[in-house]
Amino acid sequence: MSDKSRPVQRNSNVALERARIIVDQLEAEKREQLPTERELAEQIGVGRRAVRRALEVLEAEGRIWRRQGAGTFIGTAPDRPDVDVRDLAQQTNILEVMEVRLRIEPVLAQLAALRATPQEVAKLREANRKLVEAADSDARELWDSALHRTIARMAGNRLFLALFDVIDRVRQDENWRHMRAAVRTMETMRQATRQHDDLVEAIAQRDPLAAERAMRQHLMFLQEIFVMPHDEVERDDA
């Protein structure tokens, strides 16, 4: 063993020990998500590489699970159908995805309004705030996905959540992200923001009918945007 490897090993061990404590504390506080790798590195006082190694161990142990673009969560990953989503993204199209979203997500919003805890509503409001404040296309994609997934989790149905995850992973395909960015304008973003606000408020007010209606209207608006000819859309180059 070289001398150069020992500090890395020590840092990784420290990171793992401290990460276990942090997970235990957050679990006791009924919190679902870990801080970012950078925040954990600063909190523990080690490099991000050591934190990444520690998280890999915790994930292998089933203490946490990670989802690209959304973060690191406490507990075991939700069950997902055995589907190669990369192939599925190439085989389907935006209209098929919207058809499925229109049949699943309004129900998820309805259930979320019935079952959401105050803590979950606070997380939903925070995700919506982050989406509004997003300064670029990548951040908007991330927080839009986080907002809709928060609603799916709030619905409290693991099978629905697994179905939502398949759809959302298809949506994260790079080609699809570019397509959405191509039709995004300042006006469509303003309208989507208003629709998200109405949706969040309906869930916060525990109004399942209003939540279902708000989600349906939002998705129908998105569907209309995607079927418009691109040359009729005023592009947003921000």
Name 45's Cβ contacts closer than 8 Å, sequence gap at least 6. 14
Question: Does 134 score more than 80 pLDDT?
Answer: yes
Mean pLDDT estimate for the chain: 84
Q: Which residues pair with 74 in a beta bridge?
A: 64
Q: CA-CA distances (angstroms) from residue 63 to 44, 57, 149? A: 18, 9, 20
Name 104's Cβ contacts closer than 8 Å, sequence gap at least 6. 160, 163, 164, 167
pLDDT tens digits, one per residue of 100-126: 999 999 999 999 999 999 999 999 999
Name 29's Cβ contacts closer than 8 Å, sequence gap at least 6. none
Question: Does 54 score more than 60 pLDDT?
Answer: yes
pLDDT tens digits, one per residue of 177-189: 777 777 788 898 9
Burial class (CB in 10 A: 0-12, 13-18, 19+), 220: middle
- Flag whether the pTM goes above 0.75: no
pLDDT at site 6: 44
Q: What dihedral angle (degrees, nearest 10) is formed by the CA atoms of 51, 53, 58, 61?
A: 180
d(CA 15, CA 113): 39
Average pLDDT over residues 205-224: 96
